[in-house]
Amino acid sequence: MSRITRPVSTPCAALLAAAFLFLSHGRLRSIGADSSPQTGAGVKVSEFRLKDATGRLRSLAEFKERKALVLVFIGTECPVANSYAESLAGLARRYEARNVQFLGINANRDESLKAVAAHAESFHLGFPVLKDNRQVLADRVGARVTPEAFVLDAERVVRYRGRIDDAYASRTKKRPEARARDLEDALEAVLAGKRVANPVTVALGCLIPRPQKAVVSGRVTYHRDVAPILQQRCQSCHRPGQVAPFSLLTYREARNWAAEIKQAVSGRLMPPWLAEPGHGEFQDVRRLSDEELRTVVQWVDAGAPEGNPKQAPAAKTWTDEWFLGKPDLVLTVPEPYEVAGSGPDDFRVFVLPTGLTEDKQVVAIDFRPGNPRVVHHVVSFVDPTGRGRTLDAADPGPGYSSGPGGIKVPGATLQGIWAPGNLPRYLPQGVGRPLTKNGDLLIQVHYHKTGRVEADQTKVALYFAREPVQRVASTMIVGPFNIDIPPDAARHEQRASLTLPVEMEVLNIMPHMHLLGKEMKVTATLPDGKQEDLVWIRDWDYRWQDSYRYKEPLRLPAGTKIAITAYYDNTSSNPRNPSNPPRRVRFGEQTTDEMGFAIMEVIAGRPGSAPSAQ
């Protein structure tokens, strides 16, 4: 089926869906590690004495009357561990009545007792957290990642070690729901005096940093070789207050996460950049070059040597000011919005009256999440109808709930999109997007949960044209609306194409699929038969839906055929499949439905032509 739409009004709210867990992430995602258990079940744990978060000395003997003991290794910055905080607190409360004691163990050397205490309080863990600063207990039981659980019976013999459940199919792939409850099953077996059916499972999460002895190689050092790479590729997100779960501004921070960094870059998981090189020339490419990747891996393998601080680049200055300078208009969500600690993702629409008394042309838009930990992405719209205000008034609290299926305002037009890593950019000279007077800007914010109650108050900055606008940018969607994916199809193909009725300049392109998506390639075949690749996502990841801005606008003549080929995996082996067993999936706006779009920002007509209709 071929189709070209009118400019977008209410697109799927999952436009820039989720995240790195980190990034997991979701914004988020974990840069975790696959744990290979070194110590299995059957090991007897001897006495230990560790301080808890309050500074009180605790010992194993203190809990001798307990029928079972659960040791859960956690960290303050690991998003995987934090995502389990609420469920662990619930398990601890439930099994307390059955004489089971939960203990959190923090074996991350650089996380202070004060930080551990603040973390336990903010996540409402409700059970003691002990500081294993010398990693004595972690070494004794062989703990390698957070979160990792150990179930000890009444004799303090390890009867189970591993994951809490199987929600994470890999360190970067989380299932919509867990299928196996390993920790609970183990506890039930131990309390019943039975053998644990699966005594060892693989825990996935963040590596527990252990001391490394630098190998003197004289070749690769942090200050001379690695710091410039981290500045350029990583620190925009990996710094305090941003979406990434830990900071990489200093040598100490990079050293602590060295093993994680190696795993993430080796698998091309970080920095997040899905577009294949050589299939479209884009701005602000975050992908590491092969040489940069080799440098980082060699540094980690050498023991993360520091080198000479005098060889370090000047520290990059990060500012909270707007990236493009002082805006013409800043709009703020009127009051903080409270985001629950757990549950499904939250899609909230906030109405921001512009107060404009004359029409404007927007040439750039920027977003500042009030809480980057929970804001996954933001989509903004112009509402000239006032419908958003009516919906807001009928919904208690700031804004109104929209769900993942749109903003519920027919006639609204897309204005701008933000996701972690996306930089604001000006439109080309003489190009704008209209913002009508007395209208409202609607922003739909996609929130993901961090394991604790959070608050957000997002801001939007608008930049107006200083000169007459000759042409208007608009949004064009290309893609199949007849999606029908049968169950158990491992590589279901969907195709769509359209032929441009007029000449267009393409400024940027954003592929969009949902949880079953695996791959998408978009090509343009010009009237003379020449074919150009617009973008190729070979390994689709629902959490990282970037908008890719071309280095130079692509001028496509009338008669150009734009074609999409998309592939989907609707089998149970796809860990992101929301249905178990798989079900038939068709086109739809819910995350559990599917889409396959190329969303393009375009300018119709030649430079100097009359403004095109929005």
Alpha carbon 301 to its chain's center: 28
Query: What pLDDT, on the 0 to 100 scale, is given for residue 217?
Result: 56
Query: What pLDDT, on the 0 to 100 scale, is given for residue 214?
Result: 59
Cα atoms found within 13 Å of the Cα of residue 14, Cβ hemisphere only: 24
Mean pLDDT of all residues belonging to the chain: 86
Stated pTM of the model? 0.72
Residue 544 is encoded by which pair of tokens? Answer: 């990282």
pLDDT band at 215; cut points 50, 70, 90: low
pLDDT band at 588; cut points 50, 70, 90: confident
In angstroms, the CA 581 to CA 488 distance is: 9
* pLDDT tens-digit series, residues 23-80: 333 323 333 333 344 456 788 999 999 999 999 999 999 999 999 999 999 999 888 8
Strand-by-strand arrangement of the 548-556 sheet:
329-332, 459-464, 360-368, 431-435, 471-478, 596-604, 504-513, 548-556
* pLDDT tens-digit series, residues 130-161: 999 999 999 999 999 999 999 999 999 999 99
Residue 61 is encoded by which pair of tokens? Answer: 């003997």
Query: What pLDDT, on the 0 to 100 scale, is given for residue 18?
Result: 31
* pLDDT tens-digit series, residues 274-332: 999 999 999 988 889 999 999 999 999 888 899 999 999 998 887 767 889 999 999 99
Query: What pLDDT, on the 0 to 100 scale, is given for residue 606?
Result: 64
In angstroms, the CA 283 to CA 101 distance is: 53
Q: Which residue from 272, 285, 211 is spatially nearest to 244, judged by alpha carbons? A: 272
Q: In the predicted model, is pLDDT for residue 341 greater than 90?
A: no
Higher pLDDT, 417 or 563: 563
Query: What pLDDT, on the 0 to 100 scale, is given for residue 275?
Result: 93
Query: What pLDDT, on the 0 to 100 scale, is given for residue 608?
Result: 47
Residue identified by tokens 């309050």 is: 54
pLDDT band at 447; cut points 50, 70, 90: confident
Query: What pLDDT, on the 0 to 100 scale, is given for residue 422?
Result: 74
Q: Which residues, 6+ apart, have CB-to-CB distance to 265 below 8 Å?
A: 288, 293, 296, 297
pLDDT band at 614; cut points 50, 70, 90: very low
In angstroms, the CA 139 to CA 107 distance is: 10
Q: In the predicted model, is pLDDT for residue 418 greater than 50?
A: yes
Domains and CATH numbers, the chain: 36-202 (3.40.30.10), 222-311 (no CATH), 329-469 (2.60.120.310), 473-604 (2.60.120.230)
* pLDDT tens-digit series, residues 564-575: 999 999 999 998
Helix (H, G, I), strand (E, B) or coil at 50: strand
Q: In the predicted model, is pLDDT for residue 188 greater than 90?
A: yes
Determine the angle formed by the axes of helices 290-301 and 258-266, rounding to 10 degrees: 150
Alpha carbon 47 to its chain's center: 41
Q: In the predicted model, is pLDDT for residue 498 greater than 90?
A: yes
Query: What pLDDT, on the 0 to 100 scale, is given for residue 19?
Result: 30
Residue identified by tokens 């629902």 is: 542
pLDDT band at 607; cut points 50, 70, 90: low
Residue 48 is encoded by which pair of tokens? Answer: 């230990």
Query: What pLDDT, on the 0 to 100 scale, is given for residue 15?
Result: 34
**What is the share, in percent, of the chain residues with pLDDT greater than 70?**
89
Most confident of 203-207, 235-239, 433-437, 553-557: 553-557
In angstroms, the CA 541 to CA 267 distance is: 14
Query: What pLDDT, on the 0 to 100 scale, is given for residue 30?
Result: 33
150-184 as b/e: b if 16+ CB within 10 A: bbbbeebebbbbbbbbbbbbebbbbbeeeeebbbe
